[in-house]
Amino acid sequence: MSSTTGALNSAFVTPESSTLVASAISNITSSFTFNRHKTRLELVRISAAVMGIEFSYAAETAFVSPTLLKIGIEHQHMTLVWALSPLIGFFACPFLGSMSDRCKLNLGRRRPFIVLLSMGVIFGLLLIPNGESLGYWFGDNYQEPQTSTINTRNGSINLHRVTASENIVNFQSINKHPWGIFFTVLGTVLLDFDADACQSPARAYLLDICLPEDHVRGLSTFTIMAGLGGFMGYSMGAIDWDKTNIGKKLGGHVKTVFTMVTFIFTFCVTLTITSFREIPLWVLAESKYGKVKGVDSDDINMGTYDANNQITHASEVVQSCCLLPKMTALCHECIDDLFPNQVNLLL
């Protein structure tokens, strides 16, 4: 028995095969760096993008409505401007999600869309406070509305306290402000839609590169970072930037807040997209389903296979390679029991 096992061991387990197995294990373990638990600091870095998104939300909520009213949009039309972004998102977000699931770029599935949508957020942050100035460049000749307030009871003029029952307010707008309105509304739609849409790939990126055991901690960190970004964003608007040197250089309170939010948002998104590399979808499809099961990668539902599936597959391969000597010995015993005469003849 022992001589037969030794002979078959020499036939099945050669130095070349051992070297190949060791090389395969080394390649697998070095290629998939996600197969470990993330630290809290790493989860904070992965979730930094949503913190930047909440900063932009705070600036948008606090200053967009006054800016729209200032450039001449009536409050009835202002609510329609806010309705544009959800309407666009209702039709566009499902397509963006499907495209993200099927994206085959080497950068990954989530990070390209995070970068693309973040560019839209940055353009929105730049257009909203500068829309009126851009309108002047394009030919707007806008002046502040003339307001006359007449008190019908006692004939006196009250410029500070106006009520509908006692006063008549007559606004006479000398000129329209079409270009300024266009750029400000465009910035509002870009900022609101892209900030909403960017949250989905940011959350999916966290789930893709983390082990299932880290999902609870990762999502809780994601939520904490979102709340922290909202709090700090609104607090930033409470500072009187007009009295500071920064505010004077940047052109006033609103422009200062939007400029600072733009830099903070860019920094947070950069932290996230440079934290961990994604496994490209074509690697997942070809290695796990194309070569192993013989399935065409174009016919696969790409949205159901993420990095965790590939990690599981890699772990199974490693375990199989580690069990190879035990399986070989077991096969040798079975051969001896089933074909004793043939083995003796071989010896």
Per-residue pLDDT of 151-166, as tens digits, reads 444 444 444 444 443 4
Structure tokens at 78: 């202002």
Distance CA(312)–CA(225), nearest Å, equals: 29
pLDDT at 345: 42
pLDDT at 139: 81
For residues 140 and 73, which has the higher predicted lDDT (pLDDT)?
73
pLDDT at 298: 42
Q: Which of 22-26, 222-226, 282-286 has the lowest mean pLDDT?
A: 22-26
pLDDT at 144: 53
Over residues 171-209, the pLDDT tens digits come to 434 446 789 999 999 999 999 999 999 999 999 999 999
Entry field: residues in the chain: 347
pLDDT at 98: 95
| Average pLDDT along the chain | 76
Q: How far apart are the first and last CA of the chain?
A: 11
pLDDT at 282: 86
pLDDT at 54 over 70: yes
- Name the CA radius of gyration of the chain, rounded: 32
Distance CA(164)–CA(230), nearest Å, equals: 37
pLDDT at 328: 46
339 Cα distance to chain centroid: 61
pLDDT at 176: 65
Over residues 69-120, the pLDDT tens digits come to 988 888 888 899 999 999 999 999 999 999 999 999 999 999 999 999 999 9
pLDDT at 171: 40
For residues 125 and 334, which has the higher predicted lDDT (pLDDT)?
125
Over residues 230-285, the pLDDT tens digits come to 999 999 999 999 999 999 999 999 999 999 999 999 999 999 999 999 988 888 77
Closest CA to 177 of 128, 138, 140: 140
For residues 110 and 140, which has the higher predicted lDDT (pLDDT)?
110
* Helix spans in 102-147 (H): 111-137
Distance CA(332)–CA(112), nearest Å, equals: 52
Give the phi and the psi of residue 168 in degrees, each rounded to 5: -120, 120
